[in-house]
Every structure is written in structure tokens, then in C-alpha cells.
A and B are shown apart, each in its own frame.
Chain A
Amino acid sequence: EAAVTQSPRSKVAVTGGKVTLSCHQTNNHDYMYWYRQDTGHGLRLIHYSYVADSTEKGDIPDGYKASRPSQENFSLILELASLSQTAVYFCASSWDWGDYEQYFGPGTRLTVL
């Protein structure tokens, strides 16, 4: 069965610190995505990737970087964490774009103090 895992599942970070969220998928999917979920906003796309060693900006990329070192792994990096980045972050993968289902990880709850 398709699987997307995320680590850590929760994290408390200090303002100005560096945070790395990791995602691993065993689906053999080319596409991977990072979303953030905030109350009242649903899911918003931060970064995505369709091939290793390449990432693309989503709708809200400011303050975030992404890294795709291999097909299976996709990281989200907050170089200088801010209070406004407190949210739940989801990683997802899919075969392709369009009508293809996205498979989501369980999420990472990030609290920036």
C-alpha cells in the first residue's frame, strides 16, 4: 500500500531558529508536495517537485526552502522560523498531475515560540 511518512510528527521551535521537516514516500511517485494547513485557509501549496534535485515554488513559498535529494525524500526547510509559520504541515505524493490522487502523510504540527 502507498505510504508517505513524515518526521517529526510534532516540533516546537524558537523564533529565528532553523527547522527541517522530512518526508519519505515508498510509492515510487515522481511528484511530491508540501502544504501547510491553517484554520480557515484549508491547505496551501508551499513547494513541489516532479524530479529529484529539482523543486518548484508553490503559492506561498516565502520563508521556506525545499530539497529533493532523491525520488523518495522531500524536505521543507525554514531557515529563520517565525511565529507566523506555526501550522500543520503535510507532505503528499502523486504519480502525475491533473486527475491523479495525492497521497498524504500524517502531518507535522509545528509550533514556533
Chain B
Amino acid sequence: AQSVTQPDARVTVSEGASLQLRCKYSYSGTPYLFWYVQYPRQGLQLLLKYYSGDPVVQGVNGFEAEFIKSNSSFHLRKASVHWSDSAVYFCAVSPSSNTNKVVFGTGTRLQVLP
């Protein structure tokens, strides 16, 4: 069964700093990979997804992620964070087979200090 690990429960950075949120997955094939963001008192919203092709995918609000198959990783990056990026970020994986189950990581709470 697939699984997703987000090793950092909390990350704190200063506004304008660069950001990397880590995500590693366990799956024998090449899965579909997602990053979702959850702002306070809201549901999750898709930031970006990877399913094939260029391993670096661009998302909304300047976020990007890189799929590294050899490392089973899909880390999220942003060159310069803004205070409004403070939220909880979830990495998720869906097997590239006939199933509609998506497995979510435990989430990383990002706090951006002004």
C-alpha cells in the first residue's frame, strides 16, 4: 500500500526567505502526486500536481515541486514566501492504477514571520 511521509510537522520562516517542504512517498510504481494547501477554517485547495513529463511542476502563487523518482520525493519549493502563505500544506499520492483512493500526508504547518 502506498504511504506519504511529511517529516516536518511545523516550519517557520521569515517573509522573503526561500522555502522547501519535504514529502516522501512509498509506492512501487510512478504515482500521481499532489500538493494541497489548507488556509485557516477552509477546505483543501490544489497547489499543483504531477502525473508525467517534466519533473518540475509549477503551481499557483509561485510554488513549484520536483519529482525525484530515485529518491521517491516530491518536495515543495518557493523562492520567496509571503506572510499570506501561512497555512497547512499536504502532500498526497494516488496510484497510477484503477483506484480513486488518494493518500494524504500528515501535513506541514507553515508559519511565515513578518
Contact = CB atoms under 8 A, between A and B. Distances in A.
A101 B104 CA distance: 13
Contacts of A105: 43
A67 to B, nearest CB: 18
B43 A96 contact: no
A53 to B, nearest CB: 17
B46 interface: yes
A62 interface: no
- Counting chain B residues whose Cβ lies within 8 A of the other chain, the interface size class is 20 to 34
Nearest to B102: A102
Given A98-B32, A98-B94, A106-B43, A41 B106 contact: yes
Nearest to B44: A104
A31 B90 contact: no
Contacts of A94: 100
Contacts of A90: 43-44
- Counting chain A residues whose Cβ lies within 8 A of the other chain, the interface size class is 20 to 34
Most B C-beta atoms less than 10 A away, residue of A41, A43, A48, A96: A43
A76 B42 CA distance: 19
Nearest to B97: A98
Interface in B22-53: 32, 34, 36, 41-46, 49, 51
A45 B99 CA distance: 13
Interface of A: 4, 31, 35, 40-45, 48, 50, 58-59, 90, 92, 94, 96-99, 101-102, 104-107
15 contacts: A4-B43, A40-B9, A41-B106, A42-B4, A43-B90, A44-B104, A45-B102, A92-B43, A97-B100, A98-B94, A98-B100, A101-B34, A104-B45, A106-B42, A107-B41
**Nearest 8 A/B pairs, CB to CB:** A97-B100, A104-B43, A99-B51, A99-B32, A43-B104, A42-B106, A42-B104, A104-B44
